[in-house]
Structure 1
Amino acid sequence: MNKVILVGRLTRAPEVKNTTTGKAVATFTLAVDRRFKNKDGQKEADFVPIVVWGKQAEFAGQYLGKGSQIGASGRLQVRSYDGQDGQRRYVTEVVADEIKFLSSKPNNNNGNNHGDPPPEPMGIDEDFHLMADDDEIPY
């Protein structure tokens, strides 16, 4: 079983791209607080890369911004690629199949606030299960 459930805040606005077939994919990093404080009494956080596909990616790009709080559930994925220096690189990320907006995009008073998130939680849409081929992934 491969199931991950996280609640945290975005460290920056989602980056939304489209595959060659037009499928939206959003990437962002979620800061998830650790349960315990460190030896200095400070709270620490883990910074988890998140990938979201389809309509949820479009909504994330439209409604989420730096500091937005979300819940995300999905699967842990480890992939690898060869870097420009010829070294093998590994990336660990969560591929979310469901995100829930727990707060709206922070209003930074520069006109970029798109308003409140949609009233219904964003679950899996019908075509979400049609995952892109590896050659369609834009990163």
Structure 2
Amino acid sequence: MNSVVVIGRVGQDPELKFFESGKSRASFSVAANRWDPKTQSEVTDWFNVDVWDRTAQFVGDYVKKGTLVAIEGRIASSKWKDQTGEERERFLIVANNVRLPGSRKDDGQ
């Protein structure tokens, strides 16, 4: 099963994009802290997140840099060739639910 939950703070204001098909996408990054027992310190992991359509609209309306979010979704990969012809790959979270813990505004998806 490909399922992920991340709770963290948004790294920059989401970028909202509208497509001719009528779909919309919001893209942003989330920083989540975890304890690293090896270094005995807190470590920050960064995750790229895409959300679509109604959830993208919600994110565009209520999520800004620094907002605490709870993301539920799946891990997806994207492959492409860069300008030099080298194959590249990145992983991101495709979220189907974005919640704002402690806020009255909540996507509820």
- Give your verdict on TM over 0.5: yes
Query: Quick one: structure 1 residues 97 and 34, their matched pair in 2 at CA, closer, same or farther if it must change by over 3 Å?
Result: same
After the TM superposition, list the runs of 4 or more consecutive aligned residues in structure 1 that deviate by more than 2 angstroms: 35-39
| Matched length | 109
The TM-score normalised by the length of structure 1 is: 0.72
Identity of aligned residues (%): 29
Please give the alpha-carbon distance, in whole angstroms, between the structure 2 residues aligned to 1:53 and 1:37. Answer: 36
RMSD over equivalenced CA pairs, Å = 1.7
Structure with greater strand percent: 2
Q: Say if 1:68 and 1:103, in contact at 8 Å, map to a contact too.
A: no
For structure 1, the 5+ residue unaligned runs are 105-116, 125-139
Match of residue 92 from structure 2: 93
For structure 2, the 5+ residue unaligned runs are none
Residues 54-133 of structure 1 mapped to structure 2, 5 A cutoff: 54-102=53-101, 118=105, 121-124=106-109
Please give the alpha-carbon distance, in whole angstroms, between the structure 2 residues aligned to 1:32 and 1:89. Answer: 25
Query: Quick one: structure 1 residues 84 and 103, their matched pair in 2 at CA, closer, same or farther if it must change by over 3 Å?
Result: farther
The TM-score normalised by the length of structure 2 is: 0.90
Please give the alpha-carbon distance, in whole angstroms, between the structure 1 residues aligned to 2:26 and 2:97. Answer: 13
